[in-house]
Structure 1
């Protein structure tokens, strides 16, 4: 992983898009409202980073570490997060429509009021996650671990259950 100084991060964010930051160490970085659409952040370390309100639409975050990251109000539409670690991440009101989180670690993550329409969560670990008020219409939860998940007021119509059945 490559460590970047705050100045280098600022410089990168002001370059032509998309960005190639795969494997970068951005842990604890302040990237609030950053424009990271279509960025390649595969395998990047973003643990504890502030990405509140950031645009990560269609970004590649496969295998990235986002543990304890603040992704509240972030746009993650169409984002690739397969095998990513989002344990204890804050995704309050985040847009994850059409995102892929296959085999992602989402333990104790906060998805309160998040938009997860058509999101693929196959084989994901959602143990003790908070999905209160989240919108999961048409989402794929096949073989996902939903033990201890808070589903209060969650919209699940048309979503696939872990056993392959469809929520009515």
Structure 2
């Protein structure tokens, strides 16, 4: 999935502005396709193990997971693709409440954020890109999704 072409530039500017020096983010995207962006200013990330996401979604096929998460979470998600067990990072507002067991990453943490429209880096990829500036997931939707993960894993094969 990719952000609509017409929205890429404003969304990229919004993401880059999470860094005190947005030009360094744009430069990293141009050079490596990936930038380390500080959390806690524009957004936080909730790190969710792949096993939990795949149990809740009912599979691990990338296109099916992306479509499901886009419908369910209605906001941006990044995946660490260094292994089949790479976690998902659900982007949420800095002031959004989170009471789940999954780790919330915030201030003093850098997140590898791939360039919009860049299909894949060696480290991360957009599972669901942000569609407009400020587009973030509702943690309540993530909590509801994850509540299904453990019962489905128990019933699974």
TM-score, length-normalised on structure 1? 0.24
TM-score, length-normalised on structure 2? 0.25
- Higher RCO (C-alpha under 8 Å, 6+ residues apart): 2
Kindly indicate which of the two structures has a greater share of residues assigned to strand: 2
Kindly indicate which of the two structures has a greater share of residues assigned to helix: 2
